[in-house]
Every structure is written in C-alpha cells, then in structure tokens.
Amino acid sequence: MPTPAWVIVYTGNAADTAMLYSLLEAEEIPVRIGDEVMGTLAPYIIDGGQLASVKVLVPEDRVVDAEEVVNEFVEETKAQAATASPSFKPWTCPCCHEQNDGTFGLCWNCQTGKG
C-alpha cells in the first residue's frame, strides 16, 4: 500500500504551528511540522511571507478533517487578536498641555506621566 502524500494545511510562525500541531494531534489526525528550524532561526522572515514559514502537514487523505481544525484555529486566533488590540487614544499632558500620541506613557515635551 503506497504511503499517502503529505499536504501543507497551514503556514505560520513557530508558536502558532506548535499550537495547531497539538490541536490536530488531539483530533487523532497524523501531523508533521516542516521547516521549524528556519522558523526558529529567522522568525523575522516568517512575518514577511510564506517562503520561510513553519509548515503544518497532514496526509492527503486527512486534509478535509484537518481543514476543519485549521479553520477553527484561524478564526479563534483572529478573534483573540481583535480583542487584544489596545485602543490608544491621544491625550493631553496635565502639566504642559501638549498633545501626545496614545502610545506614549510620558509626555514627549516635559516627560510627565499620563496621569
């Protein structure tokens, strides 16, 4: 009996692919990780594209099962990212009354805290 081909079902950073690997294993779907060394050595490349991304692979005959898990994982990841994004509103310094970007914790002009 020929061995089924392995198909890439997800590419991403090392942390996300490790999480997805565990989820697929929990569903008893055979899974492999590809290019994890590159993902660890050069994570800055991964964010820019899929050339050096860590890959999650499953046997060709289990792709449909894996896609359900992958889609749920991607949706959950997006939902968490949306709720985790802080809202940085501009603020006025209580001391010198300069307008500051919301990401600043100290006034750019006089270094007074947000208050």
**What digits encode the pLDDT tens for the residues 51-106?**
557 889 999 999 999 999 999 999 998 888 777 666 678 889 999 999 988 888 89
Domain that includes residue 57, residue range: 6-84
Same domain, 65 and 107: no
DSSP 86: -
* Residues 12 and 28 grouped into a single domain: yes
The tens digit of pLDDT for each residue in 33-65 reads 987 665 555 555 545 455 557 889 999 999 999
- In a domain, residue 97? The reply is yes
* Residue 23 counted as domain residue: yes
C-alpha 92/C-alpha 100 separation (Å) is 6
CA 29 to chain centroid, in Å, comes to: 22
Same structural domain for residues 79 and 60?
A: yes
